[in-house]
Amino acid sequence: MTAAPVILFDVDNTLLDNDQVQADLRDDLSRTVGPESSTAYFEILEELRAELGYVDYLGALQRYRVTHPPDPRLLEVSHFLIDYPFADRLYPGALDVVRRLAGAGTVAILSDGDVVFQPRKVRRSGLWEAFAGRVLIYIHKEQELADVEARLPASRYVLIDDKLRILTAVKEQWGDRVTTVFPRQGHYASDPSIAGLPAADVTVERIGDLLDHDPVSLVGGA
């Protein structure tokens, strides 16, 4: 294993305000195909999330197309998704945190998502370049830690993620080898289901607050 720590960043609601992306999509759908169709789309999106374990925007659009009368306006919705300016939705200070922690170890993205839209989001946001292509995307990342270790071997890891459930699962597997960091951003941060979960090693209110933390202490587990 390399002596350099590996610092893993989630994307949605960690580096990028995905709640706002969904709000923008809901507004666009309401304007383009109407409020009822927008509601139907998001119901399908939640169904797919339950089936797949991740959000599949394009898959939900395909399923909507199959289960509803043909509507050429869906083509406009697909353009909205593919061309969305994700760089405008990065949280304040997010890239500054990435650059600062890069001085203390190897930074990489560890995300859940589909194999088409999630990489597109990472590229369009500028994160692919910021992480020099070190991007890992799984269906259930907490179940793929052996693969993460094989691709990014290290004696110590830091995981920064807005889902306390994920942080807990990774801590159970990696133990003291990982420092878990919980930015309390997005709707998962206020989900009642997290009340019974153990606290992360480090909790901040927003990703930019990590600029106030000493990178060496963070990767060292302090």
CATH number, domain with residue 46: 1.10.286.50
On whether the CB atoms of residues 28 and 128 are closer than 8 A, the answer is no
Domain-embedded: residue 49: yes
> pLDDT value at position 86?
96
User: Same domain for 48 and 68?
Assistant: yes
- Residue 125's domain comprises 6-17+90-220
> pLDDT value at position 24?
95
Tell me the whole-structure pTM to 2 decimals: 0.92
Domain-embedded: residue 51: yes
Distance separating alpha carbons of residues 214 and 222, to the nearest angstrom: 9
Count of structural domains, the chain: 2
Domain-embedded: residue 125: yes
Domain boundary pick from 47, 63, 85: 85
Distance separating alpha carbons of residues 222 and 199, to the nearest angstrom: 14
Domain-embedded: residue 152: yes
Sign, CA dihedral 42-44-45-49, equals: positive
User: Same domain for 94 and 142?
Assistant: yes
> pLDDT value at position 222?
46
User: Same domain for 129 and 22?
Assistant: no
Domain boundary pick from 39, 68, 85: 85
Sheet of 202-204, strand order = 135-138, 106-112, 6-9, 157-160, 178-183, 202-204
Element (H, E) at 203: strand 202-204
Return per-residue pLDDT of the chain as tens, 222 residues: 456 899 999 999 999 999 999 999 999 999 988 898 889 999 999 999 899 888 899 999 999 888 887 778 878 888 888 899 999 999 999 999 999 999 999 999 999 999 999 999 999 999 999 999 999 999 999 999 999 999 999 999 999 999 999 999 999 999 999 999 999 998 888 888 888 899 999 999 999 999 999 998 888 864
User: Same domain for 66 and 165?
Assistant: no
On whether the CB atoms of residues 76 and 67 are closer than 8 A, the answer is no
